[in-house]
Each structure stands twice: as structure tokens, then as C-alpha cells.
Chain A
């Protein structure tokens, strides 16, 4: 029986080689520098960058792709239909470099896709993916994961955690899956030397000043704010684009469409956003969320109340992406503060 909590180290110089080997044996997804950093499939270690706080798009794409073929259909000789399930994404994956906030978001997504209804597309990928996390020692001002009980330097939600402690990475295994993966590449890893905990402690020094907001009973505090004026100015400011929802690691709304051609076609699912006006538009023309105020209100109620009411956890992991990239600087951490302090009720 493999000791799951076995600690190892890897010299920094050997990481690229390890990634090369991983890329050969698995579908390896790692951070890549494009215009900004994103998680993409890599075929060699040299494509990987570790010079990032977090990626623009969260790695949820690896489990819940923006566009995913569900099945193909075509006419057969008897003028009937054949359906061919898609095998897209059916492979063993390793995600290298996932941050603890994004790893936590997968647990939240599990509540949706592995709850009352089992989503085979998501679950298949989830089962076949090993998460190799990268501890976060230098977050930026928009990060606030401690608010949600996430320790940016811990491997609570990953299979293996890499921590950069200076000249080497501390490598900790947390699950059977992680141990199995590590076992396959054992030649890259060495025994810890004894000073790793000390070095890690030093690295964690900067994490103390991270924003840790008060979210106690926030779901209850939100209830009286429904329909209130607080959401007016936020709704006015909001552009109604999909940036916050598409970048958010826990957002999971999707639409389904068909591509229909004479000889057949395919059914796909794709991300959708509650910020788009047609999201709740009905065939009659009626729209229960007819303006940006109602839609932006819905977004925050979903993250901080409805999801909590249904699943017992808040649907935000404090990754800060929506804050960083919202073109008009709508800031969920500010909104949480306003709700906690009561300012939102007084506006």
C-alpha cells in the first residue's frame, strides 16, 4: 500500500524533463504564455510557463470545455438515424500547475455535475484527470481565497502539490491517484532533506496579508437585499458581457445546439452566460430578467446565496479573475464587504 502522504522533492532543473515525459504519456495541460497565460495542451515541457499568478481562463475547460460535441448523428441506408457518441476528451489527462483556488472550484462543480444528475461528459474527464497543483506564495491584490477557507499553499483539493521552496519543489501526494502518477515517474524525485518545512514557512510569509473577508451568514444577509436599490448602480455599470461568467472557475451554465446538415450533424454544448440578455428570454418574448440590474443581482445571489442554500457552500473561490478582468471594475469582494457591513441594505 503506497503511503499517500509521502513527501518528495524535485530539483528545479529537472522539471522540464518531467513535463516532457508527462506530455508523452498523458494529455498534459499546463500554463502556456500567449497574450496572457492560459491552460492549454502542451506537447513538451518547454512550452510551459511558471511565471504567472493565475491564468486568464480557469482550467475548468479541461472538464467542461467551452464547446463540446456530445454526439454525432447521420442518416443510415434505411432512412433511419444513427447516433454516434462523441469520444472527444476521452483520455487520461494531467493538469499541471493548477492553483488551490481552481482546484477547490472543481469540488464545487462536482456538486453540480455529480449531484442529483450525473453528467457523464464531465465525470469521465474528472475521473481520468490527475491534478498536480502549484502552491501560491505570491498572490495579487485581487485574490481573496482565504475568505472561503482555502489555503493557497495547501493541496486540499489536488492529487499532488508542487511547492516552489527556492532551489527545488516540495512534492506532496494526497490521493491514491497522485501516488500512482508519482510512482510512474519516481526517477525524477528525491528524498526530502529536512529543511523543506522551514523553507515553505518562509515562503508563506507573504500570505498573511491576503484579503480574508467576512462571509459569515452571508446567504442570510442577502435575502432582504433582493430587488433592492443596491443593485441599480451595479446593473447600470455592468456591460452585460460574459467575461465574469466565462472566466469564473465555478460558473457552469451551458446551452445546447445542433449543427444540422443534409448528411447529418452533431449536437454540441457550449458555455452560456446569465449576463446575456437572451439567457432567460422565453419564446413568448417574456423575459423574467429583463435588464442588467436583475441579471447582475442574480449572479451575486447565485454565488453567495442560492448555491449555498442548495449545496452548503458558497460558489466563489476568491480567484479574483472577475475583478481583474471586468472592464468596468465591478468587484465581488467589495460587494461582499458591502453586504457584510450592511451598507448594501442602506443604499
Chain B
């Protein structure tokens, strides 16, 4: 059974009471019935604000970086993907394990708001609630309740998720989910592009990345983008002109894709954050695929594993002789 909001609230209240945590990061209802927003608590008083439902898309692991300065232990609610980001942060010594209390919730898929509205032909104001119902979502509208098959409305990253249950946690709320039934081919998005010509790909990416407004939301929302001074903020040398054109945009996205290589766990936040709808997962997934094929490495599973680009094997593939 999937954990309920009530179970999350009770669990967090107890953690505060037992003084296991001094802060908690979770989700609370947002500005309309299809949105949630990060919730920061410093005591058990307001736990009733916490929710856990199929709208909880945010990867809260990013906030652990800011809360490093907090006194005491920081509690956090994580789904499978979010927990993998935490594994990456631990690998890089960005956070200390004993200063974080991880409340894991196995996740049965997060709904893509836009897909849901399109498939049901409704607008956000019509929706009252969205609940998990096994292989479907149960959407309560002002008029009635509707069941919509998950595969039609899941977020892209959920359609290929192999880790629905958190891989690291201090307490797990709800039954572990061994696998998600709809998950098949992880890399079809990438393969489709690999199979066309270089010129086709150039046309595709130039068209998509021309729309980039360099708001840096993708970088800022990404938990593994955590350099104290980002290369793109450096003034001397300046790597990127502030001017927004396709040439500079390509530089930005290529460098970022490379910098998160081997760290990206495909939580999908970059693509969700992008206001221009750029298919960023399609870019990062390519690097993920190459790293898996070349080095047999998957990010965010085992804290003891060394990041793939910081190590080598003498027998590594060598095309460069």
C-alpha cells in the first residue's frame, strides 16, 4: 500500500517529538489543486500541511545543500529518484549522512499535469484531487471522479523508472515497490535520435535549443549541479557570453550535460522546470546511456561506487590508437 499524507504527517511529527530532526523538507499543497510546493518545517506544529500524492514531482534533495548550515539533523521526504540524488551527493561528500534523516516513500508514478489536462480535456480549475489507484490515477473533478490509465499521463521519467523504491532511507513509509509494470525500454528517446544523420540531429537540437532563454532553471533545480561557483557564473575567464543566441546556448547545454555526466539520475526536474519545453532529458539520457554501455555504471545506486569519470580501467575501450 502506498503511504498516505496522514502517515507522512504522523511520522514527521514523531520525528520532531523524539528530537530525531530539527528541520523537515516535504511537500505541501500549492496554489491550485494540481500543484504542490516545497514545505519547510522547523517543528512538529504544522505537520498537517504535509502532503504526499501523485503531484509531488519536486526533487527536494537540492535543498539539503542549503540546509547544510542548519543546526541539527534535517529530515527529508524522498521518492526513488530523489533518494538516488542523495546517494550522488553523499558520494561527492556534499552532505553528511548523519546530518540527514531520510524518510523514503516508494513511488507509483508522478502525474504530468499537462498530459493529464490534455487527455481529460479539462482545465486546472476543474480538478479537486489526484490520487494513486494502482495502474491508474483517480482524478476527482468538480463534476465527478475519473480514472485515467497511468501510461497516458505519467511524467516521462516515470515511464522509464527502475527505482521506484528509495535506495537509501532511514525509514520507509508504505510498501516497497519492486518494479513498475509499464517500464520497458529506457532509451527509446535517445535511440530515435541516434539513428538519424548528424545533420538531422543538428537541425533538431538547434531548433530546440534556440528557444532556450538561459534562465538557468535547469541548472538551479538539479541536485547534482552544486558547485560553489558555477562555471557559467565565473567572470574571469568568462566561459559564456550573456548574449542569448544558439551558439552560446549550445555551449551551455553541452557543458552542463557533460558536468552532470555520471551523476544525473534522470529525476526529470530540469525538463519540468524548463519554461520553454525543451526536451532536456533527451540530452542527459544520451550521456547516461553511453556511460552505462561504456563503463557499466549507473548513478545513484551505491554510495561506495566511485564516479565513472574520476576513475579508469586499463582495459577501457580505446578508439583513439
A residues contacting B by CB (< 8 A) are: 34-36, 38, 56-57, 66-67, 140-142, 233, 236-237, 239-243, 246-247, 255, 257, 259, 268, 270-273, 276-278, 323, 325, 327-331, 333-334
Q: Please give me the residue from chain A that is nearest to B229 by CB atom.
A: A277
Complex A-B: 30 CB contacts under 8 Å: A34-B277, A35-B276, A38-B211, A66-B213, A67-B243, A140-B125, A141-B123, A141-B124, A233-B40, A236-B38, A237-B37, A239-B221, A240-B220, A241-B219, A246-B213, A246-B215, A268-B243, A270-B243, A270-B244, A276-B233, A277-B233, A325-B275, A327-B58, A327-B221, A327-B269, A328-B37, A329-B31, A329-B35, A329-B36, A331-B31
Q: Are A241 and B31 in contact (CB under 8 A)?
A: no
Pairwise interchain contact A270-B242, C-beta atoms closer than 8 A? yes
B48 to chain A, nearest CB (A): 16
Report whether A56 and B40 are in contact in the complex, using a CB–CB cutoff of 8 Å.
Answer: no
**Minimal Cβ-Cβ distance residue in B for A331:** B31
Residue from A38, A328, A331 in contact with B38 in the complex, judged by beta carbons closer than 8 Å: A328
List, in ascending order, chain A residues with CB within 8 A of B219's CB: 241
In the bound complex, do residue A34 and residue B58 qualify as a contact, i.e. CB atoms below 8 Å apart?
Answer: no
CA of A236 to CA of B37, assembled, Å? 12
Select which of A140, A257, A278 is within 8 A of B233 by beta carbon.
A278
Contacting A at CB under 8 A, from B221-260, are: 221, 233, 235, 241-245
Residue in contact with B63 in the complex, picked from A236, A323, A329, CB distance below 8 Å:
A236
Say whether A140 contacts B124, CB under 8 Å. Answer: yes
B215–A35 CB distance below 8 A: no
Interface size, chain B (Cβ < 8 Å):
39
Q: How far is the CB of A41 from chain B (nearest CB, A)?
A: 13
B150 is an interface residue with CB less than 8 A from chain A = no
CB pair B123 A140 closer than 8 Å: yes
Given contacts A241-B220, A270-B244, contact A57 B213 (CB under 8 A): yes
Q: Is B32 in contact with chain A by the CB < 8 A criterion?
A: yes
**Cβ–Cβ contact B32 & A141, under 8 A:** yes
Query: Closest CB of chain B to A171's CB: distance in Å?
Result: 28
Q: When the two chains form their complex, are residues A56 and B32 in contact, meaning their CB atoms are under 8 A apart?
A: no
Q: Is B98 an interface residue (CB 8 A)?
A: no
B81 is an interface residue with CB less than 8 A from chain A: no
Task: Report the Cα distance A259→B241, complex, angstroms.
Answer: 8
Closest to B243 in A: A67
